[in-house]
Structure 1
Amino acid sequence: MLYDFTKQGKGKWRIQNDVVMGGRSESQLKMTDENYALFTGRVSLENNGGFCSIHQTSEKEPFIINKESDAFILNIKGDVKDYNFRIRTPKGRHSYAATFSTNNNGDWETIAIPFKSMQATYRGEVVNVPNYNGEDIVEMQLLIGNKKEEKFEILVKSISAN
């Protein structure tokens, strides 16, 4: 288990929206009464914006990835929108990212993201670095940025590597 919101709460998870680049998107991260992370907001394309995200950085104490693991597992309750899961290792400024779709049937989903499917990116653009190979990580990020204006709402229970 890398992060379990039901046991660890909000911790050091923070919002990072396109306002860092002049955009106008807005989002919130709150804990529900059941101790799930509720990430909600509105993505705006105004002023060259277009994304909302939550992230946690742990430079001094990297998240340890078991050598037998080959996928990240996200336990979420989605809203039929596409999201991007990103991680960063201590090596380089690039991240590794994969996009996944959610459903809206009211049930919890288990999203498996194979390590080998996570492409190296920098500021959203693919870079010429091999896909993620299971190194320890110093940052996790959940992002929505589908190149359209939209409201979103996703519940997150936990993130693990299996």
Structure 2
Amino acid sequence: MKISMLLLFCTLASMTVHPIFDFQTDTSLKDWYVVNDGVMGGLSKGSLRLDAEGHGLFSGKISLENNGGFSSIRYDCGPKDLSGYRFITLKVKGDGQRYQLRVKANRNEYYSYISYFETTGEWQLLKLPLDSMYPVFRGRRLDMPDFGGNILEEIGILIGNKEARSFELRIDAIGLE
């Protein structure tokens, strides 16, 4: 039993997270951009800024008026070689709401691959498997294979829970494992 535990510890200790984006007080957000439902006539408002501790703060208010209902942030990270990586890791502190992680192998594709994650109000380290992310376009699942790409060019986070309400998600880091 001791040997098994030691092997497990050594395996876990040898895993390293390759950063995609690490938020700091002096971090530039120039490669991040916000996409709200205003692109379709909606009235939701979202923004990304650094808080006093240097965490990314994605916050705003979702409106269902004018067929609205979402806010998102996107980061042009690529191209990142995914060889040897199986997970996207997120260190986040949310508001108890459900968010969507979105990735694109090619930033010019019309669809994204997504995975949902729930927040608890506390800091969480999440590991989302790349191979379980599935393709969607405008909220509809596409009849295509799940993510199997070897390249990552864009990563994003979206909130769109069909509720008019405020949201707040702090992001410390995003990485590959």
Matches within 5 A, 1:94-133: 94-104=111-121, 107-133=122-148
Distance 1:78 1:63 in 2: 28
Distance 1:25 1:93 in 2: 21
Q: 1:109 offset after TM fit, Å?
A: 0.7
Contact 1:95–1:121 (CA<8 Å) still a contact in 2?
yes
Q: 1:124 offset after TM fit, Å?
A: 1.9
Instruction: Say whether residues 1:27 and 2:46 are aligned partners.
Output: yes
Distance 1:144 1:64 in 2: 24
Fraction of identical pairs, as percent: 33
Determine the structure 2 residue equivalent to 1:69: 85
Distance change (3 Å), C-alpha of 1:157 and 1:11: farther
Q: 1:135 offset after TM fit, Å?
A: 2.1
| Structure with greater Cα Rg | 2
Deviating more after overlay: 4-13 vs 48-57: 4-13
Matches within 5 A, 1:1-162: 1-6=19-24, 8-58=27-77, 62-90=78-106, 92-104=109-121, 107-162=122-177
Deviating more after overlay: 116-125 vs 71-80: 116-125
1:5-32, CA deviations, whole angstroms, 9 ceiling, x for partnerless residues?
Answer: 2264323111110011000101121111
Query: Which secondary structure state, in structure 1, belongs to the residue aligned with residue 131 of structure 2?
Result: helix
Contact 1:13–1:55 (CA<8 Å) still a contact in 2?
yes
Contact 2:73–2:158 (CA<8 Å) still a contact in 1?
yes
Query: Which secondary structure state, in structure 1, belongs to the residue aligned with residue 163 of structure 2?
Result: coil
Distance change (3 Å), C-alpha of 1:115 and 1:144: same
Q: 1:63 offset after TM fit, Å?
A: 3.4
Letter matched to residue 3 of structure 1: F
Q: 1:134 offset after TM fit, Å?
A: 4.2
Query: Which secondary structure state, in structure 2, belongs to the residue aligned with residue 103 of structure 1?
Result: coil
Q: 1:138 offset after TM fit, Å?
A: 1.5
Distance change (3 Å), C-alpha of 1:47 and 1:102: same
Query: Which secondary structure state, in structure 2, belongs to the residue aligned with residue 116 of structure 1?
Result: helix
Letter matched to residue 99 of structure 1: Y
Distance 2:133 2:27 in 1: 26
Letter matched to residue 81 of structure 1: Q
Letter matched to residue 47 of structure 1: N
TM-score, length-normalised on structure 1? 0.90
